[in-house]
Amino acid sequence: MTENGAVQTDPTTSTSTTAEKPAVLIIGGLGYMGRFLARYIHDNNLASEIRLVDKHLPELAWLAPEFKEACSRERFMQADASREQSLQRVFDRDHGKQFDYVFNCGGETRYSQEDEVYKMRSYGLSMAVGKEAAKRGVKCFVELSTGMIYKPDSIPRKETDKLKPWSKLAKWKLNSEDDLAKVEGLNLMVMRMAHVYGPYTSKFISTALCMARVYQFLNKEMKFLWKEDLRTNTVHVEDAVRAIWTGAEWYVKAPPPRRPVPIFNIVDHGNTSQGIMAKLMHETFNIDTGFHGTLISAFARLNLDHVVDEVNDETLDPWADLQTKAGISKSTPLSPFMEKELLKDTDLSLDGSAFERATGFQYEHPQLTKDEIEKVVASYRTMGWWP
């Protein structure tokens, strides 16, 4: 029984009938977070119904075999949920029932896009599905956001700290957070993520891995800009999706809506930094790693476009050669291409203790290790992506 006297069922026990389990809608269900969330819910039998909505077809989503069941055709609906004419189809269930939990894992995940792209594909999507969720009385709407919205600092940022987004993606995520909080009747929870990594990842850590593979191939030292203690905090995708589910279950334990809107940082305990990344690249690929001196870093700060172009010129051709040598002819989601927005001298440093205190959540992948890196590379090999 909860504090307010409501009877609480444990969704993991076999005694709870299917009818008592929540019905779940995942927007961006074939994206990286969406597919792992779907698999977690499916494998643990946590929901009475799972619907995945995505613009892309499963056949084009580079799905690994272990997602085939969780992301099956029966559960999948192809739709652009940011378009008003799609919303009824996306949200309607049989017999006039509504979804209990809606997870917004959709939106533009690429960096360095034009403002208009994020406004339409991220902000527009969040507002469309958020308003529809409010209209239908959805019990918990989870908006996935990013830790890049804080004013950067090496001291871990708490949820109440000063906000100053340092990527365009983050700027529009913050706009979404702010405007969703104003939607009347929306049972909103926001989760701000560190860099998410894990098997099959094609963001942030994958870029470093591809670059390390190129430097190994060229037999050259991999040098990092800025300083060793620049924070690049991380969270394993399996912990991230467990946290999302734990958050939704926690949210509905009290009479909605919860005010102020609960906002949580999701980050492991490793306090990942560039120094840790350099060490792991050295250990995994047996290459020399180091840091450019302050002079070069100062030059880079003033000439970032030029520096990024130079780095990409150095790595892209050898990467193509490596793929050719390995007989990889099909396109893969991996590339050493360095995004200017990710090469900024800005700390992604988060304090995730508030979520752990509120929900009792515990991380199963507390820090980034050589073992975790090797598992990521192994997942690429399984898919035939790794040269």
Are 249 and 264 part of one and the same domain? yes
Would you call 165 helix, strand, or coil by DSSP? coil
User: Is the residue at 132 inside a domain?
Assistant: yes
User: Is the residue at 378 inside a domain?
Assistant: no
218: exposed, middle or buried (Cβ count in 10 Å: 0-12, 13-18, 19+): middle
**Enclosing domain of residue 185:** 18-199+235-269+349-365
What is the spatial distance between Cα 230 and Cα 275, in angstroms, rounded to a whole number? 8
What residues does 234 pair with on adjacent strands?
Answer: 195
What is the spatial distance between Cα 170 and Cα 145, in angstroms, rounded to a whole number? 8
Say what the pLDDT of residue 155 is: 94
Q: Which residues of 265-304 are buried (b: 16+ CB within 10 A; e: fewer)?
A: bbbbebbbbbbbbbebbbebbebebebbeeeebeebeeeb
H/E stretch holding 319 reads helix 304-325
Q: How is residue 203 written in tokens?
A: 């963001």
Q: What is the pLDDT of residues 215-233, one digit of tens each?
A: 999 999 999 988 999 999 9
Are 255 and 324 part of one and the same domain? no
Number of domains, the chain: 2
User: Is the residue at 376 inside a domain?
Assistant: no
Contacts of 381 (CB under 8 A, 6+ apart): none
Say what the pLDDT of residue 111 is: 85
Are 75 and 187 part of one and the same domain? yes
More confident residue, 210 or 294: 210
Q: Are the C-beta atoms of 230 and 273 separated by less than 8 Å?
A: yes
Q: Are the C-beta atoms of 313 and 366 separated by less than 8 Å?
A: no
Contacts of 273 (CB under 8 A, 6+ apart): 228, 229, 230, 231, 232
Q: Are the C-beta atoms of 132 and 142 separated by less than 8 Å?
A: no
User: Is the residue at 41 inside a domain?
Assistant: yes
Q: How is residue 276 written in tokens?
A: 């840790």
Are 166 and 40 part of one and the same domain? yes
β 263-266/188-193 pair status: parallel
330: exposed, middle or buried (Cβ count in 10 Å: 0-12, 13-18, 19+): exposed
Question: pTM for this structure?
Answer: 0.92
Are 124 and 254 part of one and the same domain? yes
Say what the pLDDT of residue 294 is: 78
More confident residue, 34 or 15: 34
Q: What is the CATH number of the domain that holds 22?
A: 3.40.50.720
Mean pLDDT of the chain: 92
Residue of 107, 184, 93 lying closest to 144 (CA atoms): 107
Q: Are the C-beta atoms of 109 and 31 separated by less than 8 Å?
A: yes
Other C-beta atoms closer than 10 Å to the C-beta of 138 total: 24
Give yes or no for residue 8 having a pLDDT over 70.
no
Are 95 and 216 part of one and the same domain? no
